C-alpha cells in the first residue's frame, strides 16, 4: 500500500523543478547570445577603424585621404548585418566617429552602440529589464 502512495512523487518533483531548469537553460543561452553580440560589436568597430585609418588615393586627383565618416559607418553596418544574432530583429547600431587630425599619427575613434533586446525569454525578461546597451570602442592611429 505504501508503494502506491509514492508512485507519483517523482513526477510531481519533476513538474516543480522543470520550470526552474528551463529558465536556467534559456538564461545560459541568452547570456551566450549577449556575449557573442558584444564580440561582434567589438569586431565591427575594429573593422570600421581599420578602414578609416588607411589612406586611399583619389583616382582623378591622386590625392591621398582617409575615407569619410559615412563610409566608415557603412563598413560597420555591413559587418553587423552579416554577424549579429537577432533572430530577425533589427541589426542597426549607432556609430560615432571622432577624429583628432587626419595626418599620420592622428587618432580615429569608432564607437558602436547596440540596444540588445532579449530573444529567448522576451516576455519574461523585458518586463523586468530594459534593453541592454552593448558598447564597443576602438581607437587607432592614422597611417
What residues does each domain of the chain span? 2-141
Q: Could you report the per-residue pLDDT of 56-80, keeping only the tens digit for each?
A: 877 788 787 788 899 999 999 999 9
- Report pLDDT for 5: 63
Cell of 125: 525578461
Please check the confidence at residue 3 and state whether its pLDDT lies above 60. Answer: no
Report DSSP state, residue 85: -
Mean pLDDT rounded to a whole number for the chain: 85
The CB-side HSE value for 37 (13 A sphere, CA atoms) comes to: 28
Calculate the alpha carbon distances from 28 to 19, 31, 42, 81, 100 in Å: 14, 5, 21, 24, 41
Confidence label for 21 from pLDDT (cuts 50, 70 and 90):
very high
pTM: 0.81
- Report pLDDT for 2: 54
Cell of 100: 583628432
Amino acid at each position: 500500500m505504501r508503494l502506491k502512495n509514492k508512485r507519483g512523487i517523482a513526477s510531481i518533483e519533476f513538474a516543480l523543478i522543470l520550470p526552474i531548469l528551463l529558465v536556467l537553460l534559456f538564461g545560459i543561452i541568452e547570456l551566450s547570445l549577449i556575449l557573442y553580440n558584444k564580440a561582434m560589436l567589438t569586431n565591427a568597430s575594429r573593422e570600421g577603424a581599420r578602414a578609416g585609418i588607411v589612406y586611399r588615393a583619389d583616382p582623378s586627383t591622386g590625392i591621398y585621404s582617409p575615407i569619410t565618416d559615412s563610409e566608415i559607418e557603412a563598413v560597420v553596418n555591413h559587418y553587423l548585418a552579416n554577424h549579429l544574432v537577432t533572430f530577425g530583429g533589427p541589426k542597426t547600431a549607432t556609430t560615432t566617429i571622432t577624429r583628432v587630425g587626419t595626418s599620420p599619427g592622428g587618432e580615429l575613434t569608432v564607437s558602436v552602440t547596440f540596444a540588445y533586446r532579449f530573444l529567448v525569454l522576451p516576455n519574461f525578461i523585458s518586463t523586468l529589464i530594459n534593453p541592454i546597451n552593448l558598447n564597443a570602442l576602438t581607437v587607432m592611429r592614422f597611417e
